[in-house]
Structure 1
Amino acid sequence: MNYASPTYVEETRIGFHFLRSYTWQHHVLRVAINDLKHLIGEPEPQGGTLLDAGCGQGKSFRLLRDAFQPTRVLGLDADPHSLALAQSEADREGIPVELHSADCAQIPLPDSSIDIVFCHQTFHHLVEQERALAEFWRVLKPGGLLLFAESTKAYIDTWVIRWFFRHPMDVQKSAEEYLEMLRWQGFEFDARNVSFPYLWWSRSKDFGLLERWGLKAAPPPGQREETLVNVAARKPWV
């Protein structure tokens, strides 16, 4: 298959099917979008142009429409098979979407043309992470939002994930390393714009089973290695 990125790491068959599942849409995407919306604070953004960077099979389109009511939705992905399914998803939901077969490290959009970049569980698939982040910065308007939700190395490097999914392991980062990368690029955010979800599906060893069975207590923030980080970051106005 001809991918739009020379560094694309092909997903496993299991991973590809998981990304079209009910669990992915409702227990991963929906939860992340609701959390990111909370992290933005007031006023909530409504309207404008929204780019889903790494849109996959389009399962986010309806959720993003309902959350932010964008006047224009764009989706970008390097996998042509995913984009074909994303178009079918958009047609089924009645959502006009402009799809681009492209690399996040080379986005075919003008400077300062996007109000919101939604980047959900995409960065751990990217080899050229710094270039992709610079592209997000370039296409965002001054004052635009980057809604960034990512799994960390502590989760991606577990045996379960390595067994069933495929990722470029040498670029995986901790939560703090992702935050530092955003700061280095120039994005602005503070503690109220960041969360470290501790969801059952992201537990690094047992999916939280021992805690649910009452065999151990959940470690509090600051005493655990974070497996997820969500950030609502803004490109400065000037």
Structure 2
Amino acid sequence: MNHLSDSYVEETRFGFWFLRSHTWQHHVLRVAINDLRGLFSEALPQKPVLLDAGCGQGKSFAHLRQTFAPQRLIGIDADRHSLELSAAEAARLELDVELIGSDCAKLNVPDDSVDLLFCHQTFHHLVEQEKALAEFYRVLKPGGYLLFAESTEAYIDTWVIRWLFRHPMHVQKSAAQYLQMIGEQGFEFDQRNISYPYLWWSRSKDFGLLERFGVRKPKPFGQREETLVNVVARKPLAGTL
């Protein structure tokens, strides 16, 4: 068995290939990290401990180093082969990354030990989402930040995505439901800390082709079902709950 979680949903061969493609690195990862950087209301933590939950093949490492300059970088994934590729990527970058084989629903990380927790396009793969979010909260220091970037059910539950990739469909959620879950866990955020990117690759059904060729006008914010949601949410400081 190549994975470390009983509830792990294995990706398709296409999906595994796509996660190391230029499109993924340049148009998805890089864009999301830049967007999350702009959602902070306060100054960034200096020399943070940064945990990448669902680090996959390590393609986030270079962007995370450039944007957040972590003193310590931890990568966690439940897929053994992905961890091997992450190790190779870290070596290529000459970057010291602590790699841990772990299910997000049971992180092998101490309480209150992480400044920034990056969860990008991972959460919709998780079956035990409530447990994972509780673990994110546990390992973050008081005042630490969850950097959450997700595709919503409106995107995941389309014929193209269902054909090319594999996901646990019964746990997919809307943007509002993800934000509600994060708030109910105890994280703090407001509208300044949220964005709803409307990128070409995230358009449901046709990847925005009809809009690109002028056949259909894009729906404005508030009149469309969001396919992406990004939020920077803070664990309250001790004594502020």
TM-score band, normalised by shorter chain: over 0.9
2:222 maps to 222
Measured in 2, the distance between the counterparts of 1:172 and 1:3 equals 21
1:87 CA drift (Å)? 0.4
Once the two structures are TM-superposed, the CA of residue 45 in structure 1 deviates from its matched residue by: 2.9
Deviation at 1:3, TM superposition (A): 1.1
Q: In the alignment, what sits opposite 2:26?
A: 26
| 3-state SS in 2 of match to 1:231 | strand
**Partners of 1:163 and 1:214 in 2: how far apart?**
27
TM-score (norm 1): 0.99
Residue 62 of structure 2 is aligned to residue 65 of structure 1: no
- Matching residue of 2:200: 200
Distance in 2, matches of 1:84 and 1:133, equals 25
Give matches, 1:169-188, under 5 Å.
169-188=169-188
Distance apart, 1:46 and its partner CA: 3.0
Cα pair 2:156 2:162 within 8 Å, conserved = yes
Once residues 138 and 127 of structure 1 are traced to their aligned partners in structure 2, the CA distance between those partners, rounded to angstroms, is 19
Cα displacement (A) at 1:43? 1.2
Is residue 2:150 matched to residue 1:150? yes
Q: What is the CA–CA distance in structure 1 between the aligned matches of 2:22 and 2:46, rounded to whole Å?
A: 26
Matched residue count: 238
Q: Which amino acid aligns with 1:11?
A: E
Secondary structure of the residue that 1:27 maps to in structure 2? helix
Q: Any idea what the Cα deviations from partners look like across 1:87-116, whole Å, max 9, x if unmatched?
A: 000000111000000000000011000000
In 1: Cα distance, 2:110 partner to 2:42 partner: 28
Q: CA RMSD in A?
A: 0.7
Distance 1:60 1:41 in 2: 23
Q: How far apart in 1 are the matches of 2:46 and 2:121?
A: 23
The 5-angstrom pairing of residues 1-238 of structure 1 reads 1-238=1-238
Superposition deviation, residue 216 in structure 1: 1.6
Which sits farther off after the overlay, 111-120 or 38-47?
38-47
Is this contact kept in 1: 2:147–2:231, CA < 8 A? Answer: yes
* 1:111-148 per-position Cα deviation (integer Å, ceiling 9, x unaligned): 00000000000011000000000000000000000000
Which deviates more from structure 2 when the two are superposed, residues 126-135 or residues 38-47? 38-47
8 Å contact 2:175–2:229 — kept in the other structure?
Answer: yes
Q: Which runs of 5+ in 1 are unaligned?
A: none
User: How far apart, in 2, do the equivalents of 1:78 and 1:194 lie?
Assistant: 28
Counterpart code for 1:53: A
Q: In the TM superposition, what whole-angstrom CA distance separates every residue of 1:50-75 from its partner, at most 9, and x where no partner exists?
A: 00000000000010000000000000
Cα distance in 2 for residues equivalent to 1:149 and 1:116: 13
Measured in 1, the distance between the counterparts of 2:37 and 2:219 equals 26
Shift of 1:40: 1.0
Distance 2:44 2:116 in 1: 12
Normalising by structure 2, what TM-score?
Answer: 0.97
Distance in 2 (alpha carbons) for counterparts of 1:219 and 1:45: 37
After TM superposition, give the deviation of residue 215 of structure 1 in Å: 1.5
